[in-house]
Structure 1
């Protein structure tokens, strides 16, 4: 019988028909008694996690541990051919650190308790604990080093806390940072999870909080990672040995402190747990010798957690959870002039401010309405900020104003591409901006979730079902710093009006381009799911599982209009678990399932809502010494098309027609998964298992931006295209301003299913009528492909003073898309990466993907040397990921993607390019340019709990004891944006393993 629940566990077993079974939690007084059914089986469902005692007919109790999402088995009789036979009084389930084999489940799950986590050297955060599970690998640093599950991108996971979804659905790249000291258990689902869980094609991380009991507890701890014991990253060099960045003084420090208390407000009835945690971190990033910024960063993280439990009576429980994860970051910027050999910090540029996090509130009711029927109801709400602004050294505040068309204040972005600047003949104009893009200072995300789950034991069938309503809203947007990018370039203009833009070469460096970009909207993702599942005990030791799930995803733009909707996407799940010997010591299991992923909220902000993107060109007479912006400007014709103003990508600052955003035949994205495995208890203290995994992405949703087939269709159907205006109609003759636009009904990028025909609606000629434009699949580009195969071997052991856990995984991840994000170039536009924007981008794209880590060996545990001293270890040995060679695709009409193609000829080191560029004939398929080196990381700790003061403990963790410094990222661009080889930087290391650091802890708990 499958115990699929994200907040509680279960206890099941066999007894004689008519027996009474009582389960009690001594710490809370919770008690339930049920009568064994005619089939001789019993089940206690939806039990809060913790230590229980269970007895038959008021006999001697046995101890049992209830963990989240699993079922512990306690048999009082065994079922044999001759009938039920009484068992002895030997305890069946222990209470050690290792979880017993759950013969009722078909899931691939790892559970780590707070006690286990405290004993091993691991960073105290959700992701690093999740990475201990088999089949997980660390994703790219561009997305915060999140966990990748089973070959999926890091944007395809779901996160839960006390049953509430805490995933940040705006990009799926963040989640509520629960105060770690308040977590009692973390469950990591790497595959095979049942119909209760959805909206994930990666994994599920499920956390349960600590709670109060009849016994009063209080305590506090301090974790301190001193700067003096922190090693630095290696210095960065190019392939000629030239120093690029001096990292010798790069140091981090961290201090975290927590205090907590728990107990009963009313004995056996009302319990409270409270925690306050404060963290402060700081880091210095050393100068880039080649020119750039040095930063001094710090953060303050005040967090709190409150958990209340009310045992109304033995049949009704009410839980309330409130928490805050507010975090404030300040980053001071200092300018470093090019090739400052002493690598000293330059002048102060300003400070950037970022605020994240907010508060969440969760209320849950559980009712044991009969011996066989349980009902739970959850309602939760949460809000989290994503605020961003900066203040430059000259006192200018860089802030996005919050609405398209209002612009942004502060320092504009300055780019100097003139020959004299590039050759060092004039100073490079860096201006006073700190970052190219600014987010909205009022940006935030909010969630309202409501779900009902019911469980009914009906003879041999355990029926579960429910509804999950999860509505998410995001206030989001961004703008260039100061609202503008000024680019001093080598432009040529037709001042004489004779059609020759090069007739005045003396003005090549006298033109500046003004580019404006703004986006901003309040967008929504409404999600509803229904599920039903049946765990059927076909025999006493064989469970068949069938789950059915229907998901509806509705995405809305900035004015509340639906631009994409998937109705009742069907996701079946099927599996079995065979308790081979009938004693929970040997399980064979398998499952097959379909999993779906909704579009995230970020898709709508620019793609489906109002945005503005324009270019203008000017002559100028001077430069503002403070901001670097041009002065004395005068508007001139656009060197590119002879027009003064050009609006790109259908971005005029007005809303987009929601009917034009997605293909009319858009189908849901989904992935199929198959798992077959076994788990065997080899001794009373040691078990191991093996499972094979196959995942296949069957259909994807992404965007496509190729305008050529749209123009071809329009011309074939009698529409006249004007290349001067870039549209299908001339500007209004009464309007003296020349404006080059694509019509408002002509969306530049559109959602579709890669590999399928597109049926797009567009107002081609601007008459207010949408034309239906069919484009064949072979014109739009290839089908999205991603396949993951793996063999996992996992083990766990528990003795009186020693526990060990680990895994070895052999895996292959191959395809032409990573999924939600694109680690190749650090693109975090979840769901709308550039993978399928143009067919040319897919040339050579099929190969081994960024999360392809062929070999992973994980081993961690703890040994108690004496009653006072213990040592812990955590080791990871892993092969490197594949390397690409990106470059320019010569002759391509999509050259604005510069060196983003799998077309590359880096040339030999030491021989500079001849400037001719790559003609596009050198295709280098994905992942065929070698691999990053193997990495080995060993972490150790030692803890001392003095006998002279119970509850006091001291601990030292040393991370990366050997200070291994292998590269984990390299420069994968073999050519620059014009196709010129750059052998001096190609495959030069840009990132390394985390350097050695030391963390001290002192804790007192009473």
Structure 2
């Protein structure tokens, strides 16, 4: 008994000494909420435990259970004081506690410490979460204070890239990839509000750095309250007010001449193919913020405004056009927090990231560095308003609740002066040989204009219920994601003109007859796809955190997701229910003193279908074709450029809307009736250890496997009708059984459901003479990720800090995910991979996000009380290079493929051509990249409170501009020759730039 007691005392003393308050006693810890943290621990049975925020007066009191366990869930991020009393007498000294985002801080209160057990341990009074032995997830926390010291560029992506295993995407559409997943599989939260772009899932709503208090980057093993992602989670909480009036201003400057020029690039013949040397970025931002009490201890505010001016200029690849951009929109945001009672709080967070950019386009001569006349104006509107209202309540001593309702808006509208003023005009060569106007046709080459407004309405309810050694967490999460989308032709009336020759009396496509006296006609086509598209995502979750022994925590949870993507008519287009995602984890405090942790978890994660799928396939289609006799040319002028538009003579025949009358077509033949969702299974085993009060290290192994894909497939044959029975483009699961509406009795009319095993069927094969050879099926999608991760960390102690991570990983398969980085295809969920069976045949190998080696280092050092230096380094190996061919040995299709033609390639008969396999990743790798950021700061505290901070940061200090993307088209046509630009560099590291930040807080 005495030995057990002494071990307990040593454990308690060590937790106090390390200043971390780990899971030193039997108490369910679990994950904290998605916009707050928790404090848990042990004290005397029946003791009254109180936690107080000195800055806001927030006070919460609970009674420890009969084993002395206590828990404070849903605590706002910040500093607290913790006390305990028993029978009116204090137990030990008050403890200072720091609550961080998404973590449980474990503190023992009132334990009598035997001095003979302390030895040389230095007891501190502040408890910080460093190694959370109650957690089974892999996450990196980064505070506002740490970011102020480090040279990290001021955007959320740069913060996420600090975490191990997170890399930049290597395609033109950017993004970041977590653990082998594609860039379109992540989720982003601000104060519990999901701000992920649900249109194509590659992007998010973002606020300035000064708006955020803390970030948590989850790279794996996250609990059941998080879902709708098979990648990673970036979770952020914003700043709040306190009882002290505070304010500040910060100016960030990046003048154009502080940016090193990007290099031009030339082909093997010395021809410039990328012109970038005269591109320049220029940015200045001024943040003003204030916070304080509206009613002391009750009601608080934080408000911020950012005035920003961004004026970058960029040339086109050819160097014959230059665009001067100008954006001066301001950001606003704030929070209001109300401590209604000690058991109830209400918090409102709101911000607007709406932005409008105008790009003035001029003709340009690179050799003389001179501009000619203005040719266009391009307008880009993005962002919108975001807000979330959260109510947290302690219903009883053991039951707590959090309710949230929020709204996330994103606009996406890029258009130009030419789009508004100019119709597109095209003509056949035969027409132009007879009716050449002598000037260009029309004044735009852009045929289509897109506009979209996305609105997410989200509400969720989260509960925590403590039952002895069990902590039950359960809740409901619902999103209504609505896209109002329009796609239409450029110009007045949204008309596209096509011109053709004909003879008088000829019958044309709509059945009309060319009138006498005319030998040419005009087709005026109005083509619009649009509507309101809604997706309903809902989930229930239940999780049990069981403290099996004083040193072992088991975490078992279930999440049940449902996705309902609807067409423009409000009917379910893709609907998937009962997606059961089990999560199982453990955390073992190996030494029983909270210093050493072994943890692991198994989990399943589901990915929803992006709204781009609804929009592209399930909208109201208007294809209105009106025909007119050609009556000559009108010559007009815009921006000094003359152009021709056709004069319309008498209308020929009726208006043809047979291809689309604006209604939503029957989707039963366009989507699998029994669609299976996309999901990923994950296994993690890890170890963490505190070496002393500052140093810790860890190692973990991760394995991920993606199951299934949802993509568009062209089903050209069904089992019925002797291989006939064309269905068309279907959203389905490649390589699995598909059920679609089709022709069951071979009369040419769809009349029933047809089952097609797409692993064996669905694509008709014919020989050169048109003889039917049978059907071919699709390969199943595959993706795996295996990694070993090592971390070493030294916590900041007012003198220096350091973090190092190294990841070695393998990312293999035949499907990157819902986008294709290697072919620069970002239409999420509509890749080329499975358009027909041949596209992905032989496509297994290392995937685009395979970065075998990743080394990340960051740290800061205080030279004096006023001067600090810092650095951040990222070193990783390059991604694989594939040589894509065109066509295949079995079919005449001309998509990307993993085959290249080497003989008889000019033959029109596909079976006469000779192909060889061109495997994925068979052409080497892109080079290693090295990015070093460095900073120096001057800090001057003011007498009383407040301080001045001046930071000069240089990003990409060595000005590395190494290749991160190459042309991977080995063949672009079916021929014996290969593409001259294969492996030509087309993407590079951003050049060096310098940023000066001057901040005054008071």
Task: Verify same fold: TM over 0.5.
Answer: yes
- Equivalent of residue 621 in structure 2, options 611, 614, 621: 611
Q: In the alignment, is residue 7 of structure 1 matched against residue 35 of structure 2?
A: yes
Identify the range of structure 1 (241-250 vs 879-888) with the bigger mean alpha-carbon deviation.
241-250
Residue in structure 1 matched with residue 987 of structure 2 by the alignment: 991
Matched, 1:689 2:698: yes
1:673 match: secondary structure:
strand
Deviation at 1:239, TM superposition (A): 2.7
Inter-CA distance 916–312: structure 2 relative to 1 (3 Å threshold) = same
Secondary structure in structure 1 of the residue aligned to 2:780: coil
Out of 22-31 and 607-616, give the one that drifted further.
607-616
Q: From the superposition, tell whether residues 716 and 978 of structure 1 become closer, same or farther in structure 2 (CA, over 3 Å).
A: closer
Contact kept in structure 1, 2:553 and 2:586, CA below 8 Å: yes
Aligned-partner SS, 1:824 = coil
Q: Check conservation: 1:703, 1:832, Cα contact below 8 A.
A: yes
Paired residues for 1:189-228 under 5 Å: 189-228=218-257
TM-aligned CA deviation for residue 89 of structure 1: 11
Query: Is the alpha carbon distance of 1:412 and 1:51 closer, same or farther for their aligned partners in structure 2, counting shifts above 3 Å?
Result: same
CA distance in 1 between counterparts of 2:707 and 2:244 reads 53
Corresponding residue for residue 724 of structure 1: none
Counterpart Cα distance in 1 of 2:781 and 2:541:
28
Partner of 1:461: 470
Q: Take 2:974 and 2:522, find their aligned partners in 1: how far apart are those partners?
A: 21
**C-alpha displacement of 1:139:** 1.4
Instruction: Give me the whole-angstrom Cα distance separating, in 1, the residues matched to 2:170 and 2:824.
Output: 8
Q: Secondary structure at the match of 1:921?
A: strand
Residues 220 and 232, structure 2, Cα contact 8 Å, conserved in 1: yes
Determine if contact 1:705/1:748 at 8 Å carries over to the other structure: yes
Aligned to 1:957: 953
Q: 1:906/1:553 Cα in 2 relative to 1: closer, same or farther (>3 Å)?
A: same
CA displacement, residues 359-408 of structure 1 (integer Å, 9 cap, x when unaligned): 1221111111222111111111233322332113xxxxx25xxxxxxxxx
Match of 1:284 in 2: 313
How big is each residue's C-alpha offset from its partner over 1:790-824, in whole Å with a ceiling of 9 and x where there is no partner?
11112211233111123111111111111122212
TM-superposed deviation, 1:776? 2.1
Instruction: Please report how far the alpha carbon of residue 347 of structure 1 lies from its aligned counterpart in structure 2 after TM superposition.
Output: 3.8
Give the superposition deviation at 1:469: 1.3
Residue 299 and residue 905 in structure 1: after superposition, are their counterparts in 2 closer, same or farther (change >3 A)? farther
Matched, 1:703 2:703: no
- Between 379-388 and 878-887, report the one with greater CA deviation: 379-388
Q: Is 1:243 aligned with 2:276? A: no
- With over 3 angstroms needed to count, the CA separation of the structure-2 counterparts of 1:917 and 1:214, relative to structure 1, is farther
Whole-Å separation in 1 of the counterparts to 2:818 and 2:832: 11
Contact 2:439 2:644 in 1 (8 A): no
Which SS does the other structure have where 2:584 is aligned? Answer: strand
**Counterpart of 1:260?**
289
Structure 1 residue 414, shift from structure 2 partner: 6.0
Q: Distance in 1 between matches of 2:502 and 2:845?
A: 42
Equivalent residue number for residue 593 of structure 2: 583
Secondary structure of the corresponding residue to residue 887 of structure 2: coil
When residues 71 and 905 of structure 1 are mapped into structure 2, their CA distance, relative to the original with a 3 A threshold, is same
> Which residue is equivalent to 2:107?
74
Which residue matches 1:770?
751
| Contact 2:181 2:817 survives alignment (8 Å) | yes
- Equivalent residue runs for 1:86-485 within 5 Å: 91=123, 94=126, 99-143=129-173, 145-289=174-318, 293-335=321-363, 342=368, 344-392=370-418, 398-399=419-420, 410-412=422-424, 432-433=443-444, 435-440=446-451, 443-482=452-491, 483=494
Alpha-carbon deviations, 1:5-62, whole Å to 9, x = none?
1011111122221223222111111122222211232211111110111123234212
- Structure number with the higher strand fraction is 2
User: In structure 2, do the counterparts of structure 1 residues 26 and 598 end up closer, same or farther at CA, with 3 Å as the change threshold?
Assistant: same
- Measure, in 1, the Cα distance between the counterparts of 2:186 and 2:832: 21
Q: Which of 728, 734, 759 in structure 2 is aligned with 1:748?
A: 728
What's 2:784 paired with? 787
In structure 2, C-alpha distance between the alignment counterparts of 1:981 and 1:634, rounded to whole Å: 48
Q: Following superposition of structure 1 onto structure 2, how do residues 620-635 of structure 1 map, counting pairs within 5 Å? A: 631=646
What are the Cα deviations for residues 594-639 of structure 1, in whole angstroms up to 9, with x where unaligned? 000111111111211223569999998879575756647999x9xx
SS at match of 2:924: coil
SS, match of residue 834 in structure 1:
coil
3-state SS of 1:28 partner: coil
Cα distance in 2 between the residues matched to 1:561 and 1:926 = 40
For the 8 Å contact 1:942–1:955, the answer to whether it is kept is yes
Secondary structure of 2:839's match? helix
**Counterpart for residue 656 of structure 1:** 665
Moved more, 606-615 or 39-48: 606-615
Deviation of 1:244 (Å): 1.9
The answer for the alignment partner of 1:886 in structure 2 is: 884
Q: 1:367/1:987 Cα in 2 relative to 1: closer, same or farther (>3 Å)?
A: same
In structure 1, distance between residues paired with 2:422 and 2:563 = 39
Q: 2:927, 2:429 → 1: CA distance?
A: 37
- Structure 2 residue runs of 5 or longer lacking an equivalent are 1-28, 508-519, 763-777
Aligned position for 1:548: 558
Asked if the contact 2:902/2:915 (under 8 Å) is kept, the reply is: no
Q: Secondary structure at the match of 2:614?
A: helix
Aligned equivalent of 2:926, options 921, 924, 932 = 932
The answer to whether the Cα contact below 8 Å between 2:717 and 2:723 also exists between their aligned partners in 1 is no
Alpha-carbon distance in 1 for matches of 2:329, 2:926: 35
Normalised TM-score (structure 1): 0.85
Partners of 1:72 and 1:93 within 8 A in 2: no
Instruction: For residue 683 of structure 1, report the CA deviation from its aligned partner.
Output: 2.0
CA offset at residue 892 of structure 1? 6.9
- Whether 1:759 and 2:739 are equivalent positions in the alignment is yes
Is the 8 Å Cα contact of residues 809 and 853 (structure 2) preserved in structure 1? yes
Matched ranges for 1:793-872 at <5 A:
793-798=790-795, 799-872=797-870
1:736 aligned residue: none
In the TM superposition, residue 990 of structure 1 has moved relative to its aligned partner by: 1.3
Render the CA deviation track for 1:295-324: whole Å, top value 9, x for unaligned. Answer: 222323311112011111111111111211
The C-alpha deviation readout for 1:512-538, integer Å capped at 9, x for no partner, is 999875321210000111000000000
Q: Secondary structure at the match of 1:564?
A: strand
Identify the range of structure 1 (444-453 vs 103-112) with the bigger mean alpha-carbon deviation. Answer: 444-453
Which residue does 1:505 correspond to in 2?
none
- Equivalent-residue separation in structure 1 for 2:254 and 2:158 (angstroms): 17
Residue 158 of structure 1 deviates from its aligned partner by: 1.1
Question: Helix, strand or coil for the counterpart of 2:148?
Answer: helix
Tell me by how many angstroms 1:415 deviates.
9.4
Rounded Cα–Cα distance in structure 1 between residues aligned with 2:900 and 2:437: 33
Given the superposition, is the C-alpha separation of residues 716 and 792 from structure 1 closer, same or farther in structure 2, using an over 3 Å criterion?
closer
Tell me which residue corresponds to 1:910. Answer: none
Q: Is the 8 A contact 1:906 1:982 kept in 2?
A: no
Relative to structure 1, the CA distance from residue 683 to residue 974 in structure 2 (aligned partners, 3 Å threshold; closer, same or farther) is: same
User: What is the Cα deviation at residue 576 of structure 1?
Assistant: 0.3
- Tell me, yes or no, if structure 1 residue 1001 matches structure 2 residue 997: yes
State the match for 2:94 in structure 1: 61
1:503 aligned residue: none
